[in-house]
Structure 1
Amino acid sequence: MTPARPPRALLWDVGNVIVRWDPRTLYAKIFKEPVHLDRFLSHVGTMDWHAATDRGVTFADNIAALSAEHPHHAEHIAAWWARWPEMFSGPLAETESVIEALAARDVPQFALTNMSSESWPGVQAMSPVFRHFRDAVVSAEERVIKPEPRIYEIVLERTGLEAADLLFVDDSAANIAAASAMGFHTHHFTDPAALRPAIEKHGLL
């Protein structure tokens, strides 16, 4: 669906758009052999398992359940939360620059993230640009995750805007497709250098 008018506000994903997040950054320190690292992340500490925390399950409960299934990996599973900050490798300077430039022009900015409410405060502390967001829809607080349509509806309810008013930036093709189907402007974030030209193309910078 192509929106009938240009956007007037930004809706930002967070992980790997504003801050870099990858479990491998941590687990490469724990598993010295790549084959063991790959096996753990593909069969134990999977993204499907982690998604429960994005839906509101606590890290403690999610870790306990998985540890009961894989007791020999209990220590490794516990590190998912105990060493959570080590999964991050800093903010993306290109995104920070664009957010600051939009703020200087008083363009409304919001966040939509699949994230645990437990980890959200720490993530916000990783970059000063989070202060520019007028609101943030955090999946764990809503008990629904992208790309499910309901979470985009919550964004519209919370912002008071229509889908065509918002340019949504996300690194997930599935999330982008869902938003596009609902009438949002979208930019699939795959190259940090392409972000500013995309924002400029939409007339926001």
Structure 2
Amino acid sequence: MSEIRHIVYDIGKVLIHYDPDIPFSRIIPDAVERRWFFDNVCTSEWNIEQDRGRSWEEAEALLIADFPEHEKNIRAFRQHWHDMVPHHYEDSVALMEGLVAAGHDVTMLTNWASDTFREARGRFPFLETPRGVTVSGDVGLIKPDRRIYDLHVETFGLDPKASLFIDDSQKNVNAAIDAGWQAVLFTNAKTLEADLERLGIGR
């Protein structure tokens, strides 16, 4: 195992909480109806295309054409996006900031729509702490596509085998490993800190 010289963070569910149920528990109070809406209308597959770069206007128009009776709730997904990211994880962010302060090279690689990520930067100043970020919506690629890992390496001058990727999704972790990186699955800050210590990375 190579010495780790670069640490790359995912953001959603690693540094910042994300949960569409927060606003939609008010918008669609019935749990069964709400689950149907997420399984059939505003699905994860639909949402991730905005992470790939599709505009919200196009995304909404596609769904409204198929589900005109749900137009209000479809538009509510973007309108209430801020409620879906209510807070950051203080312990996880403190760990990341400690790594930067200790002189480690930290960047971020995230599946996130361009416009909402710009808004997130305004709300969460710590997103400016690492050296930089690759945002899927800006580059038209999403994890676990190998090309976004290679692009991040090229953009920030990383050595893949000396890079550690931290993500809450096992498929994204596996893709990083397939791209020649080292990687760990994020579950919580305490476990991540233990993983970093095991890998010889201190603050």
| TM-score category, normalised to shorter length | over 0.9
Residue aligning to 2:200:
203
Task: Spell out, residue by residue over 1:148-190, the C-alpha distance to the aligned partner (whole angstroms, 9 max, x if none).
Answer: 0000000110111111121100001100001011221111012
Q: Does 1:150 align with 2:155?
A: no
Counterparts of 1:53 and 1:98 in 2: how far apart (Å)?
Answer: 29
| Pairs within 5 Å for 1:23-172 | 23-172=20-169
State the AA in 2 paired with 1:91.
H
Residue aligning to 1:181:
178
8 Å CA contact retained: 1:17, 1:92? yes
Task: Spell out, residue by residue over 1:43-81, the C-alpha distance to the aligned partner (whole angstroms, 9 max, x if none).
Answer: 111000011101111111111111111011100000111
Classify the secondary structure of the residue corresponding to 1:186: strand
Q: How far off its partner does 1:15 sit?
A: 0.6
Q: How far off its partner does 1:16 sit?
A: 0.5
State the AA in 2 paired with 1:90.
H
Counterparts of 1:143 and 1:118 in 2: how far apart (Å)?
Answer: 13
Aligned length: 202
TM-score scaled by structure 2? 0.96
Q: How far off its partner does 1:127 sit?
A: 2.6
Q: How far off its partner does 1:193 sit?
A: 2.2
Classify the secondary structure of the residue corresponding to 2:34: helix
Following TM superposition, the consecutive aligned residue runs of length 4 or more in structure 1 with deviations greater than 6 angstroms are: none
Counterparts of 2:195 and 2:121 in 1: how far apart (Å)?
Answer: 24
Task: Spell out, residue by residue over 1:102-142, the C-alpha distance to the aligned partner (whole angstroms, 9 max, x if none).
Answer: 11111111110111111111222333321222111111111
Counterparts of 2:86 and 2:80 in 1: how far apart (Å)?
Answer: 13
State the AA in 1 paired with 2:138.
E
Counterparts of 1:79 and 1:186 in 2: how far apart (Å)?
Answer: 36
Counterparts of 1:75 and 1:136 in 2: how far apart (Å)?
Answer: 33
8 Å CA contact retained: 2:95, 2:189? no
Residue aligning to 2:17:
20
Please provide the CA RMSD for this pair. 1.1
8 Å CA contact retained: 1:94, 1:195? no
Q: Which runs of 5+ in 1 are unaligned?
A: none
State the AA in 2 paired with 1:39.
W
